[in-house]
Structure 1
Amino acid sequence: MTLVQPPFMTHGGRQQAQATRLLLHDLVRGGQGIAGASDLKVSPLQRPACGVRVADGSAIVHGTHPWQGAYGQVNVGDALVDIDPTGPFARTDLLVLRVEDPEYEGDRDPAYGDIGYFHVIQGVGPETVEVPVEMSAIPLARISLPRDTGTVTADMIKDLRQLANSRHQHRVHTAWPDGRQRLPGEPGRWTAWPTEAAWDVDIPAWASKATVTVTISSLQVEDGGVLARLRTTLGTARGKSSQVVAEQGATPHLFTTLAHTYTLTPAQRGVTQRLAVQANQDAEGGRGGLFVDRSTAIVATVDFTESPE
């Protein structure tokens, strides 16, 4: 195999299709799928019928042959796709965005028609999530049709879109208490504690989820047993709680981990939100005290991820 030369990068050169496809393949780091989180979403028709609509957006589709490269596809406005009604038997269809480049497969002529199109594969397995290996295509949705059905509803559509190159951001925040602190408040009442475990977090405009993990070291118990719960909060959202349990007597240097994945609403994106830790102590666990001090290290990691929506 000789080098594929990109003559369009040189003065006076002519564009070469294969070089462009290979360059696109490299630019998306080998990924394929939709470009943005809301691109090409499949929904029922506005008027009930046996069909679906595919929202506007763009995608990358890889060829199945070695050195074929990748194809960029753009859908402007909603595309309407017919789905055949069912008879006495149920059926599952797979809706894909397909590319047929006649140099490699099919007989579509790009000079006179589209080589990229929405294609329905009928009669697939009820758990199918991938396209056939010989087909240059990406899956968009699986449509499960009951018998004797002439209308596609939202509950029949399973979203199968994947981002070609999803974005990710990892952030680490740390804190140390200024001095010795006992968990305050009435039993069963959530309190912001430890006081220093709070950070202002900038949420990316593209983020769909935030996975928060907080570790607290060198928690101490004195003056009896303790049953306490701790959780994270992000803005007004509250995470799942973890327990700290200690029997009667002094128990130094406990360690706890809090974890929760927050689904971010549009109002939470592109703004600054307060990430904090809250705690409360259960009276039934004993009257001991839960403490932190200068030896306590608090570490919060936040992973923002993008996913189809």
Structure 2
Amino acid sequence: MRRRFNIQMIIENLNPIVRNFLAFGVISIASTMTFAQNLPTVNTSISANDVLYPGEQYTATHVYTTPDKIDALATSLQATFGSTGGFSLDNYQITPTPSSAKATVLTTPVGSFSLFAFHSPVPFAFGEDRIGYYVKDIDAAVKKALQSGASVVVSKFTDPIGSDAIVRWPGGGVTQLYHTNDPRSEAPLITIPEQRVYVSSDNVTAYILGYLQFTGGQIIKVLSAADGRDIGQPGKTYQRFYLKSSVGVVDVLVTNGQLPFPYGKEHDGFQVPDVLAAVQRAVTSGATALTDAIYANGRTSAIIEFPGGFVAEVHDKGVF
């Protein structure tokens, strides 16, 4: 027997994420019933607050490079964005199977970075993760991710400072969940980085629903006809969603995938007071400017490749 849904009950009670979609016109009333049937059953005893350490400073951009480039990468990132701290561990096993890597953690006023350079072959799935979320309990975090539609790519494992798991979100994107045995305490960021996620139109709903359900976040801004100049498609438009939660901002770019280099290669976007000055600092410290500064969608942006191949966007205005 097919389940019967009262549409008003769905809108008011089933899931605040669906209401958020409706408020921004992302989905129609008619589509809500379909999404309602496909959403994972939520165990309300596990909330985002139970799982995530709040604070964008605990969300780390993951960068994989080579041993001969990791120090130059760290130096260039600090020269470009400033530095509030950091440390390195060499010949370190960060995987559940035997391996050896150098790990460098950097904190800057505009975001945190975890840099990894393997001396050994890189085990499965490592290198696919582009972001790390600091969680209070790794088991609860994995369970919450599964309830949000994610799949577990690498199950829970321990490392010398805590425990980890790697998950893949519906619609795309791989994230490492990590917990440290000794609680971290980091100063708040001056500006909030934007995790940049490129998705297709057929995957955007699954991705956003899953992400918001896991983080307890919401859609804060939608550009239904964003200027395509800032993704290398002048004269065209595309759809763009900004998601906000206690662990940061995600910039979801819905495109046809026909993107010229370097668009789609960048991991994150970082807010800086002056884009040209930031690009100059980066170039002076060994990076390469991959695009000119472009003004589109209310802000100036550029894309930079840092030593070791890490590609990032910089922009001069946030979404708030």
Larger Rg: 1
Same fold (TM over 0.5): no
* Structure holding more strand per residue: 1
TM-score normalized by the length of structure 2: 0.20
TM-score normalized by the length of structure 1: 0.20
* Structure holding more helix per residue: 2
